[in-house]
Amino acid sequence: MQLLVGLVSAYRYEGPRVSEETARAEAKALVAAVKSAGHAAAKLVENDDVVRILTTRSKPHLVETFKHYKEIHGRHIEEDLGHEETLREAALCLATPARYFSEVVAAAVSDGADHHAKEALTRVAVTRADVDMDAIRAAYHEQFGGRLEDAVAGKAHGYYRDALLSLVAGGK
């Protein structure tokens, strides 16, 4: 709960400056937290350092921190947070939003997608169309080997399909 409240309410510097020294130190703190928590996800989501880093650092700073994390630990942080979905999604969305949203769309167009996943497709299409849909399409192609437009066209129908495709295709 502390993480989610922090993500929506904490002050986050949004400028381009990144302190390499701080990013490296925070990567070490994340490695230590992950190692000490093991598979006890509750411990990790309640870890003050983890929550502070994810809720207060800028996106460029987090990208740099996660790069140092991989250098130190040999794995992407998303892999180590896989057992804690909330942390994994927060880290992925903050550091690589296009990749995160392409995963959301892939889940929505997969066979057996539940109602919540299908609603997420609409949210992504509507909220990201004018922001970073080109990057999401590229990430989807890279991750899943197909065109995002084709995936949406294969699952949606009627006017809903047409509306989604106009948002996802971005006027192409």
User: How confident is the model at residue 84, as a pLDDT?
Assistant: 84
Say which CATH superfamily domain 2-95 falls into: Annexin (1.10.220.10)
Indicate the pLDDT class of residue 42, thresholds 50, 70 and 90: low
Q: Is 39 helix (H, G, I), strand (E, B) or coil?
A: coil
pTM of the model: 0.85
In the chain, domain spans? 2-95, 97-169
Which among 172, 89, 90, 166 is positioned nearest to 129, based on CA atoms? 166
Give percent above pLDDT 70 in the chain.
96
The SS3 assignment for 170 reads coil
Copy the structure tokens of residue 130. 């004018």
Residue 41 confidence (pLDDT) above 80: no
Say how many Å lie between the first and final Cα of the chain, rounded. Answer: 41
CB atoms within 10 A of CB 48: 10
CA-closest candidate to residue 53, choices 81, 30, 86, 24? 30
pLDDT for res 14: 83
* % of the chain beyond a pLDDT of 90: 74
Q: How confident is the model at residue 39 (pLDDT cuts 50, 70, 90)?
A: low
Query: Average model confidence (pLDDT) for the chain?
Result: 91
Residue 57 is classified by DSSP as S
Instruction: Report, as an integer, the average pLDDT of 64-81.
Output: 93
Q: Range with the lowest mean pLDDT among 16-30, 81-95, 146-160? A: 81-95
How far CA 84 is from CA of 63, 80, 81, 91, 103, in Å, comes to 19, 9, 5, 11, 16
DSSP-assigned letter for residue 15: S
Fold of 97-169: Annexin V; domain 1 (1.10.220)
The yes-or-no verdict on residue 136 having pLDDT over 70 is: yes
